[in-house]
Amino acid sequence: MTDAPQRPSSLTETGTISTPTDRRRVAFATVVGTTVEWYDFFLYASAAGLVFGQLFFAPAGTQFGQVLAFVTVGISFLFRPLGAFLAGHLGDKYGRRVVLMLTLILMGVATTLVGLLPTFDAIGVAAPILLIFLRILQGVSAGGEWGGAVLMAVEHAPRSRRGLFGAAPQIGVPLGLLLASGVLAVMTLVAPGDAFLQWGWRIPFLLSIVLIVIGYYVRRRVEESPVFEEIAARKGQSSAPISQLFRRHTPLVIVAALIFAGSNAVGYMTTGGYVQNYATNPEGPLAMDRGAVLWAVTASAVTWLVFTALSGYLADRWGRRTTYIVGWIAQLIGVAALFPLVNTGEPALLFVGLAVLTIGIGFTYGPQAALYAELFPASIRFSGVSISYALGAILGGAFAPTIASALVAATGGTTAVTVYLGVMTLVGLGATLLIRDRSGIPLGPDSEELQAASPLRISRRG
């Protein structure tokens, strides 16, 4: 009897790994990890829209206190680049896997501590200060998480299925929203009325510690990206990946950031807590039931998940750029329909408005992992995707809820918000038209020269 041949650990030139079982494990780990991360991140944003204005900023008054609560949501985005810079440097030098473990732990600790935080009535001004500090830690974690997760998924994927595999960490975002909104909705039943304000809102934050343990266990069983393993074997890690990125690819980083900004600004109408606050505000025009709104948001997260996964599948057949263009058109339709449906005050129509919106958001989010990974050279890829994503989050979603609140306060209606979201969608479309589709480009270090050629249509290079 002869010995069976050794199973190869990876096929790095095409970005594949050896067995379907390994691929499924990577996909599952990225979904679980990003779901936990974004559950924590969106839980804060939802709570900011529902209770933080009353609990931590009450002395500022109802309206301005709510604005301050939304500002804390946006502040975290300002620290995403810090997380992206740190994670990009560490990820390009030491690997994707170690960064993913660190970001998961940091996010979980910060979220759990929010659930234990005393309110303004208990400790005064120290309460909002500590809340902002913990939100900053969430921002640092989120800034580092995304790049590592998508590269683990895409760099392990077969060349012809990068869009589908890259959609795995992307669906963790709507899953995180679904989980956060769903748990909050359940707590409105378990602890209705004042009980929700007193203690009910804390339980979802404390549950984070359980989810972190699960996510940590799943992620530690995943092997390092084969592309990075080959780079490390050749000792090809860049000593200063961030400086190389900006010296050679600054225009590309800006364009990539604008692509994400167009989707992120619209998505943060729900993930940033704005629609939840607008629909449930007792002093607002709708004053809808908190539980009904949360259930509508939870259901819309399911449609977002479906279209995110579908767009990843289609991106492997249509190409990344074409899939995005379809998404921008769908997003414009969703933006136009959103507030007319929300303003009916009917939970069912609110859900319809959110569901229609998620078609475009899904189509402009699902292909992003594959698109970004194929834009940057292997040796600085983690830095490139992380920093582009973080900058896009600042330009797009960081203060979208705050801007929407200010526009409604200034104009007395939601038409200006619709115009704002439409403009951001057109910005994303314009940025998409500036890039060439690089679907299937080799991702390994042997093809650095090909990868370094600019994908920008306005560039003289490549």
Cβ(406)–Cβ(67) below 8 Å: yes
List the CATH code of the domain at 17-452. 1.20.1250.20
Quote the CA–CA distance of 211 and 40 in Å, as a whole number: 9
Cβ(324)–Cβ(222) below 8 Å: no
The residues facing 456 across adjacent strands are 435
Cβ(100)–Cβ(219) below 8 Å: yes
Q: What is the pTM of this model?
A: 0.82
- Work out the mean pLDDT of the chain and round it to a whole number: 85
pLDDT in tens, 196-215: 989 999 999 999 888 888 87
Residue 238: per-residue pLDDT: 54
- Residue with token string 């709708």: 286
Quote the CA–CA distance of 403 and 74 in Å, as a whole number: 10
The closest of 313, 307, 318 to 363, measured between CA atoms, is 307
Residue 315: per-residue pLDDT: 96
Quote the CA–CA distance of 151 and 157 in Å, as a whole number: 10
Residue length, the chain? Answer: 462
Residue 92: per-residue pLDDT: 72
For residue 221, what are its two tokens? Answer: 């069983």
Residues whose CB is less than 8 angstroms from the CB of residue 88 and which lie 6 or more positions away in sequence, other chains included: 144, 147, 241, 242, 245, 380, 382, 383, 384, 386, 387
Burial 337-370 (b: 16+ CB within 10 A, else e): bbbebbbeebbeebbbbbbbbbbbbbbbbbbbbb
Residue 235: per-residue pLDDT: 55
Cβ(130)–Cβ(138) below 8 Å: no
Cβ(125)–Cβ(58) below 8 Å: no
Q: Is the dihedral of CA 184, 53, 349, 353 positive or negative?
A: negative
Residues 177, 181, 184, CA angle at the centre, nearest 5°? 145
What are the structural domain ranges in the chain? 17-452
Burial 138-163 (b: 16+ CB within 10 A, else e): bbbbbbbbbbbbbbbbbbbbbbebbb
Q: Which residues of the chain have pLDDT under 70?
A: 1-19, 223-229, 231-240, 459-462
Quote the CA–CA distance of 276 and 159 in Å, as a whole number: 40
Residue 459: per-residue pLDDT: 56
Quote the CA–CA distance of 12 and 228 in Å, as a whole number: 9
Quote the CA–CA distance of 15 and 25 in Å, as a whole number: 15
